[in-house]
Amino acid sequence: MKSRRPAGSRPGPPRLALVIGSGGVRSIAAAGVAQVLQAAGLRPDLIVGCSSGALFGAAIATGAGSDETLRAATAFWRPELTEQRRWRAYLQMLLPRLAGFDADFSLRDDRLIAGTVHTAFGDLRLEELQTPLRVAATDAASGEPVVLSRGPVAEAVRASMALPFLFPPVNVDGRRLVDGVVSDPLPVSAACDAQVVVALGFAGAMPRRIDRPSRLFAQASTALTNNLMRARLDAARAAGQRVLNLELTLTRHVGLWQTDALPYLFDAGVRLAQSRLPEIAALVDAAGARGRAVPRERADPSVAAGRAEPAEAAPTEPAAFRALPLRALHELPHVSR
């Protein structure tokens, strides 16, 4: 594992970006894709992540190996993280004025998640990662997409995973940010300056039957998310981005918190990348042969917010970055509810 971001002259546009969408535990397949690309000499020089894709994308961006990433994912992705109920929340729903219902409402307490993410990444900053990482979130007040490329990794990942109603927004430089899936579940536009984009999106499965309110809500929200993802992909291609979308095919059902399926999902990512490797290589070769320059007006993938900044704003003389590998989450003590 390399310990520092490669130093050198001012970098040009990313050659190959790996964009990881929101997909729950399925997002770990991106680690298998990244392993295949690196072995083929096509190591992504930019990673973009949304929601769970931001979490696993951050692990990949540290340079963690596949075994370490799987151990960390197994320790982090556990059901009890979402089972820390806020009993006051029920009172706030019944008596909103008396109980103080406000924009920071949540059904769950996110302190366990916050502690776990901080233990994983410590004080590591996005600009210190071995591979540049852009994290997609959503401005809670305006609904606009936000891309974070500077600042604490743990804070950015928490914001990207803060699903409204379930978890409270995360304050980043005075802005309340929530889950990136609300505005862009597969943020290919955040890599608009890359010559080639490999996108790993995850369409949600529609409920087979509607026999309770939660499934009716799931039907509507899943349809909205799937349609938004397809629309974003179509828009990126229409804008001239070279995007290769990888669709993960599974031979069995995998639950949202099914950590024992992580190795299976990782291997599925490996097989998927191997099957599409000739296409990826051809796209990268074609982009290099044409020497396509990215127009300056398209080189800013970020919505101006918080610590988000244009990719072209890299310093002329890059500073040395310290070595901060992903911490071993499997050594975390169990936190009881």
Catalytic residues: 51, 179
Q: Which of 143, 236, 220, 241 is nearest to 186 (CA)?
A: 236
Contacts for 38 with CB less than 8 Å, ≥ 6 apart: none
CA–CA separation, 223 and 78 (whole Å): 26
List the beta bridge partners of residue 50.
136
Amino acid at 284: V
> What is the sign, positive or negative, of the torsion defined by CA atoms of 9, 43, 66, 80?
positive
Residue-by-residue DSSP string for 261-320: GHHHHHHHHHHHHHHHHHHHHHHHHHHHHHTPPPPGGG---S-S-TT---GGG--SSPPP
CA–CA separation, 34 and 190 (whole Å): 18
Distances 217 to 104, 211, 225 between C-alpha atoms, Å: 21, 11, 12
Q: Report helix, strand or coil for 138.
A: strand
Q: How is residue 214 written in tokens?
A: 């939660």
Q: Report helix, strand or coil for 170.
A: strand
CA–CA separation, 31 and 44 (whole Å): 12
Q: Report helix, strand or coil for 199.
A: strand
